[in-house]
């Protein structure tokens, strides 16, 4: 009976806390603003690049190249640029495409590389024979999308710390926390409900960010990126709940906030130095599937709730 009462209280308190968070306009704006700013900046950058980009693509060619091929390249939107050594020019990335009329040189992953090569092949009536069975590297755009999502995860990690600290401190000041601690349920339920509410609010918001960039750029390993980011924000929330102690907003919680920031940044630095792909927050810029980090985030949430209950019992 007691267990069922505790579970029911946990569900009710979690829903109540999450609802109060989502009712605050500042919280909602904070959750969606990083995604809007990052995706909007990317879209604006792409529009400017398209607008400033010339309607033709430069191609390094030899001066003695067949004029007929030169004319065909111009018709296909390429601009031949005479050079004595097209291969060296492409290797130096001064120009991304080059040919002497028989051999083509293309910078890896160039979006117009296949069109350029097929034009030269068709001119010589050469069969199109792509190499099969070669490993396909991760597209550059997907790697960039993953990097952007990882940096956004740092923002959500900071949000998690603020949610953990600020939620407890605010509710202590307005009397909500004391009312919940007076309920006939274990005190750990009160801390655990706040951690669950923070995770349930931050997780979908970060998932939205990953989905947006997966649609715009594609994201390499989106599931692992999502798991690492969600685990980081959930662990940061656990850190905030564990270190807040008896602090309230009116009494000031600069000390607990500084301690929480030190722990979070310490984990991030350890991950960069030691490649801890299993440690939440530390695993943001490492590899790994993310499942280990997610599991440890749950452990951190439970542990933080136990610490919170012990500290709350002494107040």
pLDDT per residue of the chain (315 residues) written in tens, 0 to 9: 678 889 999 999 999 999 998 888 878 888 888 889 888 888 888 788 667 655 568 899 999 999 999 999 988 889 999 999 999 999 888 898 999 998 999 987 777 888 888 888 888 887 654 444 444 455 656 778 888 899 999 999 999 999 998 888 888 888 888 888 888 899 999 999 999 999 999 999 999 999 988 888 788 889 999 999 999 999 999 999 998 865 554 556 677 888 889 999 888 888 877 888 889 999 988 888 899 999 999 999 999 999 998 887 655
Compute how many other C-beta atoms are within 10 angstroms of the C-beta atom of residue 88.
13
Q: Is there a single domain that holds both residue 307 and residue 282?
A: yes
Whether residues 98 and 164 fall in one domain: no
User: Residue 35: its pLDDT value, please?
Assistant: 87
In a domain, 84, yes or no: yes
Residue 93 lies in a domain: yes
Q: What is the pLDDT of residue 64?
A: 92
In a domain, 27, yes or no: no
Do both 304 and 197 map to the same domain?
Answer: yes
For residues 164 and 200, state if they share a domain: yes
Q: How many domains does one find in the chain?
A: 2
Query: Does residue 227 lie in a domain region?
Result: yes
Same domain, 178 and 119: no
- Examine the fold and report which residue of 123, 149, 169 is the final residue of a domain before the chain moves on: 123
Give me the residues paired with residue 82 across strands. 61
The pLDDT score that the predictor gives to residue 134 is 44
In the listed set 98, 123, 148, which residue is the last one of a domain according to the structure? 123
Whether the CB-CB separation of 142 and 220 falls below 8 Å is answered with yes
128 in any annotated domain: no
Q: Are residues 118 and 253 in the same domain?
A: no
What's residue 251's pLDDT? Answer: 55
Looking at the fold, whether 250 and 290 belong to one and the same domain comes out as yes
Q: Examine residue 309 and state whether it is found in any structural domain, yes or no.
A: yes
Q: Look at residue 25 and tell me if it is in a domain.
A: no
Q: Report the pLDDT value the prediction gives residue 54, as an integer from 0 to 100.
A: 57
Supply the pTM of this predicted model.
0.73
Based on the fold, state whether residues 84 and 166 are members of the same structural domain. Answer: no
Same domain, 150 and 275: yes
Domain identity same for 199 and 70: no
In a domain, 281, yes or no: yes
DSSP string, the chain: -HHHHHHHHHHHHHHHHHHHHHH-HHHHHHHHHHHHHHHHHHHHHHHHHHHHS-SSEEEEE-TTS-HHHHHHHHHTTEEEEE-S-HHHHHHTTSSSEEESSS-EEE-TT-TTHHHHHHHHHHHTT----PPPSPPPPPPHHHHHHHHHHHHHHHHHHHHHHHHHHHHHHHHHHHTHHHHHHTSSS-HHHHHHHHHHHHHHHHHHHHHHHHHHHHHHT--SSHHHHHHHHHHHHHHHHHHHHHHHTT--TTT--HHHHHHHHHHHHHHHHHHHHH--TTSTTTTTTS-S-SHHHHHHHHHHHHHHHHHHHHHHHT-
- Looking at the structure, tell me whether residues 87 and 116 fall in a common domain: yes
Final residue of a domain: which of 123, 157, 174?
A: 123
Looking at the structure, do residues 115 and 195 belong to the same domain, yes or no?
no
Q: What is the span of the domain harbouring residue 66? A: 55-123
């Amino acid at each position: 009976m007691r267990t069922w009462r505790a579970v029911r209280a946990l569900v009710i308190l979690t829903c109540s806390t999450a609802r109060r968070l989502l009712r605050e306009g500042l919280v909602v704006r904070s959750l969606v603003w990083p995604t809007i700013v990052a995706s909007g900046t990317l879209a604006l950058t792409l529009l400017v690049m398209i607008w400033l980009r010339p309607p033709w693509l430069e191609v390094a060619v030899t001066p003695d190249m067949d004029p007929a091929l030169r004319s065909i390249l111009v018709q296909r939107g390429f601009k031949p640029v005479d050079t004595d050594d097209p291969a060296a020019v492409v290797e130096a990335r001064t120009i991304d495409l080059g040919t002497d009329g028989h051999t083509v040189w293309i910078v890896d992953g160039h979006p117009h590389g296949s069109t350029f090569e097929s034009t030269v092949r068709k001119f010589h009536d050469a069969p199109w024979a792509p190499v099969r069975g070669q490993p396909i590297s991760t597209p550059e755009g997907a790697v960039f999308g993953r990097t952007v999502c990882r940096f956004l995860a740092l923002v959500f990690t900071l949000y998690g710390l603020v949610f953990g600290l600020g939620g407890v401190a605010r509710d202590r000041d307005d009397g909500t926390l004391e009312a919940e601690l007076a309920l006939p349920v274990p005190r750990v339920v009160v801390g655990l409900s706040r951690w669950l509410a923070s995770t349930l609010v931050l997780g979908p918001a970060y998932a939205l960010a990953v989905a947006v960039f997966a649609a715009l750029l594609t994201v390499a390993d989106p599931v692992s990126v999502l798991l690492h980011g969600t685990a980081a924000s959930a662990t940061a929330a656990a850190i905030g709940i564990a270190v807040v102690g008896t602090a309230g907003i009116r009494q000031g919680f600069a000390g607990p906030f500084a301690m929480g920031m030190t722990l979070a940044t310490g984990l991030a630095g350890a991950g960069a130095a030691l490649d801890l792909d299993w440690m939440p927050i530390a695993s943001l810029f490492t590899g790994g599937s993310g499942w280990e980090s997610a599991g440890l985030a749950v452990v951190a949430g439970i542990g933080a709730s136990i610490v919170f209950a012990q500290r709350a019992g002494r107040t």
